[in-house]
Amino acid sequence: MASVLVPVLYVGIVVSSLLLFSHFYRKRNAGKIYEPYFPSHPERDIYVSLLQNDPPAHESLLKAALVRRAMTDVSRVLKMREDKAALQNLLQKGSIGDDLWNSLLQSEKELEAEIMEVVAEANTFVEGWGGLIFQTAGEMIANEKIRTVYEDTAASRLAKEQKYGKVGTKIDLPAPQPVFMPAPPPGHPAHPAALAAAAAGSATTSTPSTPAKPSNGLLPPQNTKAESVASSDGEGLDTPSPSKSSKKKGKKRK
């Protein structure tokens, strides 16, 4: 019985000590202030200073300052999303300490409160603008990136020309050499003598020409023997006999 109670008592003591240690460690870290993950927020300070001016600033200026503040928040959200996964993997491997990870978590909570404050400030200007201000800020960030790339095109091209040489220089290529094909053997069909003999044979064996048929399909009239054939008594088919005509004239004279 004593052999069973000793390991159970040992396990209970170890578990209770670990729970006490984790409780006091979390309590000590809860009140500890970590170094901020992002150093400062100048756009927020500019907006607050414009609100606190004695002569109030123009509404368009306040809107522009608020949009610039939202742009900074969007860029920080994107950076935090990229860094969080990498820092989590490094923390699991033991490459970084808990201070950096806790600083990231604390900055994430501060950024959430900052976003809610920006949405509330945007709704004070125009109702419903809080749901669109961060979309506008993201489009402006993309526009600034494209403009920066466009403005740096000349400088980057000059640097590449200095490194790799001028772009578009003419390159002298060697002239193409003529290709000579060997003549075919005498027995080959492509030999000049064979080609000349084939041309001569085709010229001598010409087919007789046939009369062309008319386009309308009608044949010209042909002379037939039926038109000139005389009857059995020597009279033609169409002309009257001279004996009969002379007999009629003789009767009239009488």
Segment 154-185, tens digit of pLDDT: 888 888 888 887 755 566 667 777 766 666 67
Model confidence band, residue 135 (pLDDT cutoffs 50, 70, 90): very high
Would 81 be classed as within a structural domain? Answer: yes
CA distance 177 to 166: 30
Its pTM stands at 0.53
**How far lies 79's CA from each of 66, 70, 74, in Å?**
20, 14, 9
pLDDT in tens, 172-230: 667 777 766 666 677 666 667 777 777 776 656 544 445 444 444 444 455 444 444 44
**How far lies 6's CA from each of 11, 112, 236, in Å?**
9, 51, 158
Would 222 be classed as within a structural domain? Answer: no
CA distance 30 to 203: 111
Would 9 be classed as within a structural domain? Answer: no
CA 16 remoteness from chain centre = 62
Number of domains in the chain: 1
Would 83 be classed as within a structural domain? Answer: yes
CA distance 219 to 116: 103
Q: How many CA atoms lie within 13 A of 68 on its CB side?
A: 14
The reported pLDDT for the residue numbered 193 is 72
CA distance 250 to 253: 5
CA distance 116 to 125: 15
The reported pLDDT for the residue numbered 203 is 59
Would 70 be classed as within a structural domain? Answer: yes
Would 145 be classed as within a structural domain? Answer: yes
Question: Structure tokens of 96?
Answer: 């970084």
Would 221 be classed as within a structural domain? Answer: no
DSSP string for 25-94: HHHHHHSPPPPPSS---HHHHHHHHHHT-SSPPPHHHHHHHHHHHHHHHHHHHHHHHHHHHHHHHHHHHT
pLDDT in tens, 41-79: 999 999 999 988 888 889 999 999 999 999 999 999 999
Would 122 be classed as within a structural domain? Answer: yes
Domain that holds residue 73: 36-162
CA 81 remoteness from chain centre = 28
Amino acid at 176: P
pLDDT in tens, 92-125: 888 888 888 888 888 999 999 999 999 999 999 9
- Exposure of 149 by Cβ count < 10 A (0-12 exposed, 13-18 middle, 19+ buried)? exposed
The reported pLDDT for the residue numbered 34 is 64
Contact 92, 57 (CB under 8 A): no
CA distance 169 to 155: 19
